[in-house]
Amino acid sequence: MSLTDHVKKSEHLSNIAAFYSGKLADVKGRNTFQQALAPDYDAQEIPEHLLGSSFGCGNPLAFSQIKEGETVLDLGSGAGLDLILAAEKTGPSGKVIGIDVSEDMITLAKRNCERHGLHNIELHQGVIEHLPFPDQSMDWVISNCVINLSTDKAAVFSEINRVLKPGGKLVISDMLAEDLPDWLHMHQDLLSACISGAVSEAAYLEYAGNSGLTALTVLDRMTYENTVLKQLIKDELPVALEELARQLGLSTDAMLDKAVTELSGKVKAIKLYGEKPALG
């Protein structure tokens, strides 16, 4: 990687960390919206104090068969919701490991895990393109609306394949998109919010397949309705909305209408299952 590329990547990661740190400071009113983005969580299993600080687009654990004693890695573990749910599946004889680029998220996740009295959870600050874990050390890899943020998705899936044990499995919830308009790349927040970095389903599956992962299956698809898109842009991206409106010479309301119209039917969440081939 050239020095210029390294600087750009560092800035990209810093922007993502800053974006979500800002969201942690303003979680009021996110509970209902988060349920619209990720409706497949059982509301009764989610601690109320975690809803507003969770930023996923699905529940990867809903389609996993994690067993007691297994080791689970969560890529982009955020405030710790999926860590806590996974730890309940592995039991004290298993281990759940989270990695996140944001120091604030790591701090919050540690506090949340301690609050639940869980001692089989390990947290690391780092990047998902270069995982600090040994080869063939994980039974499961899960992730929730994070891989789309990476500028090197091929590297992410290569690392997933590397750290999975032979016969290990992954379940990923992520946001995908088709034929995005050019203006989406005009503001960093649109990448941090999982929109402009999203790729097509075909491209996503190609990244996963090229890494050596097999049995790739899309377990679920949900195309976001216009009402959800409108709320995502209006409530989660007010700065980007205002700046884009100014750059394109539109009012804020006109920019919002343009965004919803041009993204209609193009943004969806999927759940992807895959395996690392077993030996022999």
Q: Which of 34, 49, 192, 173 is nearest to 109 (CA)?
A: 49
Name the CATH topology of 3-222+267-275: Rossmann fold (3.40.50)
Confidence (pLDDT) at 240:
77
> For residue range 128-177, what is the model confidence (pLDDT) as tens digits?
999 999 999 999 999 998 998 898 999 999 999 999 999 999 999 999 99
**How sure is the predictor about 31, in pLDDT bands with cuts at 50, 70 and 90?**
very low
Q: Which residue has the tokens 């990923």?
A: 172
Sequence ranges of the domains in the chain: 3-222+267-275
Lowest mean pLDDT among 38-42, 108-112, 267-271: 38-42
Centroid of chain to Cα 58: 9
- pLDDT above 60 for 32: no
Confidence (pLDDT) at 53:
53
Lowest mean pLDDT among 45-49, 99-103, 183-187, 228-232: 45-49
Confidence (pLDDT) at 44:
56
> For residue range 213-272, what is the model confidence (pLDDT) as tens digits?
999 999 999 998 999 888 878 776 776 788 888 889 999 999 999 989 999 999 999 999
Q: 42-51, 58-67, 98-107: which has the highest mean pLDDT?
A: 98-107
Lowest mean pLDDT among 92-106, 177-191, 244-258, 259-273: 177-191
E strand residue ranges, the chain: 71-75, 95-100, 121-125, 138-144, 164-177, 214-223, 267-275
- pLDDT above 60 for 61: yes
**Maximum distance among all alpha carbons in the chain?**
62
Please, which residues have CB within 8 angstroms of residue 86's CB and are 6 or more apart in sequence?
Answer: 61, 66, 72, 74, 96, 140, 142
For the record, the structure tokens of 207 come out as 């990244």
Q: Is 179 or 75 the better-scoring residue by pLDDT? A: 75
Q: Which residue has the tokens 């976001």?
A: 224
Q: Are 213 and 276 in contact (CB under 8 A)?
A: yes
Provide the β-strand partners of residue 274: 170
Confidence (pLDDT) at 60:
79
- pLDDT above 70 for 7: no
**CA pair distance 13, 44, nearest whole angstrom:** 33
